[in-house]
Structure 1
Amino acid sequence: MIIFHKHHIIPRHAGGTDDPSNIIKVNVAMHAFLHKQLYEDYGRWQDNTAYKSLAGIISIQEAIQETKRMANLGNKHRQGKPKSDEEVEKIRKALTGKKRSKESIDKQKKILTGRKQTSEHIENKRISNLGKKRKIVECPHCGKTGGINAMHIWHFDKCSMITGKKHELKHMIGNKHAKRKK
């Protein structure tokens, strides 16, 4: 029994479509030969990988690994290359005023949750924060001052002067920052 493949005359990786006029039916050997010809004519790595896989030179698993490796090489062409002022300004204008969707924020949180920072990364963050002034704010209700992050936990809308509640550390028991129990 002869096995037929659908071959894109102009491959999809080169901008070809799934239009019937762009697809021909060929056997496996002809399919491998056509990809070899495309590779020799245009030098695209995708055609070389397809040829080697169809001809049995490499396994499907090796073809998948080679495809991933070659695709990742393409992402590194801009790595470390500084953007021009014009590029930066164009990006800034495009993003200014755009609010990220909740889905986008949740997706990024999910990716970053549980990620461990290396000691080198922690040290680099520590060094970058050296000498930076931390914003000090004052609670309008009780007059206490402190760092903005901690103050928003205990003061402003949650200040005991307006809520009438004393803040308890029950929720912090077992937390490495809670030194004493009340």
Structure 2
Amino acid sequence: MNAEQEEEVEAEARRSLEQSILQFCRRGYELRRVKNGHIEPARLVSVTDENYFRYHSQGFWRILPEKLKSVVISELFEVRKGYSTDNLKQSATKLKFRKAASEDMCFSVVFTKTEFLHKSVDFIADSTETRNKFFNALEYLINNKKKERLFFDEKCWLKEKFKLADTNKNGE
């Protein structure tokens, strides 16, 4: 095999891996959310069309119904493993929490709300393997969006904005 063929094989393997990662994200997975030191029941967490990270959020004081929140992937700042956010660190001081959620099963998604404000959403997977799959998938998607920002194409951006502005879809 020559160098070109080896590169082709590697590229094909990389594409196959990317597709399996994206398929896993689209299908989603049941994850428990940690909010204010409490572990919520398992809910579906997924990524739709490689553009939105979706998770469920409990309503105000459990009076209002639960709602599905969507965050654009480009707004995701990073993902972290373990007890790496203030919320998880504080929760981990309780023995009951550490028994229910080991550090190997926890991860956090940090996203940018405004220019300088970051928010984290903490999750617990049912196993370390699931946590690693979801972590790697989100990290891959975040890195791809960061690369896209580096290679900004103004013409594509303008076309996309015009399509969004074309409410009646007649092209005018």
TM-score normalised to structure 1 length: 0.22
- Higher Cα radius of gyration: 1
Structure with more contact order per residue of length (Cα contacts < 8 Å, sep ≥ 6): 2
TM-score (ref. length: structure 2): 0.23
Q: Please identify which structure carries the higher helix content.
A: 1
